[in-house]
Structure formats: C-alpha cells, structure tokens
Structure 1
C-alpha cells in the first residue's frame, strides 16, 4: 500500500482546498516542514510580506521584510477534546511596528480583532479559538547603539475549522498577515497590482 493511500481522505480533501486558496500577490507563500509531534497528519506554510517593489525571484534585504507568518493545518482522525474536532489550525504572525503604534495599550486586542474579522469576512466557520498577542521591545547597545529601538508584535493563535474545507481559512490568514504588514485591505473583487521589478 502506498504512503498516499494511507492518508485519511478528509486530510486529502483539506489539502485540496488549501491549493485552491487565492492569496494576495504581496504575500510569498511556500510549504515548509510541518511539526511531527502535534498530530498524526500536518502541513505547514510559511509566509513573508516585503515592501512593495520587490519582484518575485529577487532576494530582498532583511529591512524589506514587513511581516512573517506560519500557517499549520493539523489532523487527528481520532479527534481531540481540546480541539473539539479532528482538525486544528495553528498560526503565528510577527511584524515590526512603528514606535507610536507599538506602545498602544490596546495593541493585543486589536491584533486579535484582526484575526476574528478576517475569519468572519471570509466566512470561515470556526470554533474553540484562542491565542496570545505579545509585544517585543528591542533596544540596541554598544556597537549597535545607533540602531533605533523597534517594537514587534507577535500573534499566536489556533482554532478548529467547521469542516475540512479550509480554503477560506488560509485566505483569511493571508489577509491578516498583510494587515500586520501595514498593507491596506483590498475592496471585494479588486486585485492588487503586481509588484514592479526594480531596476
């Protein structure tokens, strides 16, 4: 029996719906190694958002990176009481913020609201959602003292999708990564212009 034949049909269906997702052009999305201890079956995607003008295939400087993230789909055919289902989506997003925004006491609540609104906007049914938002202040000293202080926001969240159709969940998450990167939302039915290649 082939390895593919041993994969549950529900998980194969979920993988098929992920491939159908349409994500914003500013987002670089690629499959990365999935954690092996969280569930019998898993797939993971990594995302990066760079400043506009960085063309696909170019290697931008670190300073061009606006946000990064991971989207992990877990599946346990036996189900989990903690998950309240057989699937679980685990996500991570990190972005550097301007100092005046990063010190806002409501930042964590705003980050969580971005997640909920993105899922609702894409009509991605879910339950048992939870997460944490963390602010990280970086101060430089010694030979690095000339660097300005920076504040990063991290959001770690997980939720149980209402079905194995997770296309809308990936699309919602990709929009949220772009929101963390400071990109304006696109009106419904409008596509972003492709990044122009730098000379």
Structure 2
C-alpha cells in the first residue's frame, strides 16, 4: 500500500494548497521536520529573509527550488545578513479538537532584531499582533480562535564578549484555526508577516514599519 493512501484526503488537499502559495522572492521557505506529538498529521516550513534585498522583487513559488534559483541568480550571498526568521506549522487531527475548534490548526513563530531604542516601546507587541490580523484580512484568509504572544528579548554580553553590542529581538508566537483545508492564503499572509518583521515594504495601510536593525 502506498504511504499516501493512509493520509486523509482533507490533509492532502491542504498540502496541495500550500504548494500553490506564491510568496515574495526575498523570503526563502524550506520544509523542515514537523512536530510528531501535536497532531496525527503535520507539515512544517522554515523561513528566512536575507538582506540586502534585491529590487525589484518578483513573486516566486515557495520552496527549495525557488530558493536555489534565487541564489543561482546571485541575489543572495554569504555576506548578507538574516533580517527575520520564522516557522509555519500546519496540524491536522481527523477527529477534531475542542481546543482548536476544528480539525486544522496553524502554529507560527517569527523573530527579528530591532533597533535598541524600540525595546521600550509599550505598543510593540500590539503592533506585531496587528500585523498578523491585517495580513490575514488582506489575504482574505478566513480563521477563528486566534491567539498569540509577543515577546521582547534583550541580549547583553559580558566578559570576553563584552565588546559585542546588545540587541533586542521581537518574537511573535501565534496560532489560529483556518476555516477549511485551503491553506494557501494563510501561508501567503504569514509570509508577508515575516517580510514585514524584516522591515520590507509594502505594509498594510495605516501600519507603521519598525526600524530596521542596525548593522554591527
């Protein structure tokens, strides 16, 4: 029996919709090992935005192939820096979950480094969450039961590392339940979020960009 014969049709539909997602070429997505204890079926993607960013930046199909093509074209090199990183995990439980309020659940993580003076901004977490809500709405990605946590991470170095400048990162951990197995718009919305964290325009109307991180 083929292994795919044991995978529920609804989860296969969701996987197919992910493959159709079109994301900005600055964002490099690759499949990574999925957690095995959160749901009977799962798929995970890791993302990174590397700068400086080429212009113009046409849309590209996500995945290892597109990332390889970008590097082959010379738009990414080893001297560039990581502007943002993230994970996108799709969980599926055929029996459903009362906690999720559905059979599917999307779990995400985004992290980016900010200008030090932004660390004391009391609105920082609210802005990060607003980006998520706006991105889902802009991509018409229906969802429910959304929740998340925004965290500011201060790093200071001492002793032999005292010359290393301090840094402040913003982390957003969020999850939500998509309305159905069509996950394409959800991945596209999330990928825009990662680019927003990296300081790349365009942003949703009325939202102010966080300053790009300093180069050491």
Same fold (TM over 0.5): yes
Residue 17 of structure 2 aligns with which residue? 17
Whether 1:139 aligns to 2:156 is: yes
Alpha-carbon shift at residue 93 of structure 1 (Å):
0.4
Alpha-carbon shift at residue 52 of structure 1 (Å):
2.1
Residue 120 of structure 2 aligns with which residue? 103
Q: Is the 8 A contact 2:27 2:191 kept in 1?
A: yes
Secondary structure at the residue paired with 1:36? coil
Q: Choose which of 78, 87, 110 in structure 2 pairs with 1:93.
A: 110
Alpha-carbon shift at residue 59 of structure 1 (Å):
5.1
Q: Equivalents in 1 of 2:186, 2:103: separation in Å?
A: 16
Q: Is the 8 A contact 1:26 1:52 kept in 2?
A: no
Residue 60 of structure 1 aligns with which residue? 78
Alpha-carbon shift at residue 145 of structure 1 (Å):
1.1
List aligned pairs for 1:157-196, cutoff 5 A: 157-185=174-202
Residue 152 of structure 1 aligns with which residue? 169
With structure 2 as the length reference, what TM-score do the two structures score? 0.82
Q: Equivalents in 2 of 1:74, 1:91: separation in Å?
A: 11
With structure 1 as the length reference, what TM-score do the two structures score? 0.89
Q: Equivalents in 2 of 1:48, 1:143: separation in Å?
A: 30
Alpha-carbon shift at residue 186 of structure 1 (Å):
6.8
Q: What is the RMSD of the two structures over their aligned residues, measured on CA atoms?
A: 1.6
Q: Equivalents in 2 of 1:83, 1:101: separation in Å?
A: 34
Matched length: 186
**Structure having greater relative contact order (Cα 8 Å, sep ≥ 6):** 1
User: Where does structure 2 lack aligned partners over 5 or more consecutive residues?
Assistant: 55-69, 205-216
User: Where does structure 1 lack aligned partners over 5 or more consecutive residues?
Assistant: 188-199
Secondary structure at the residue paired with 1:39? coil
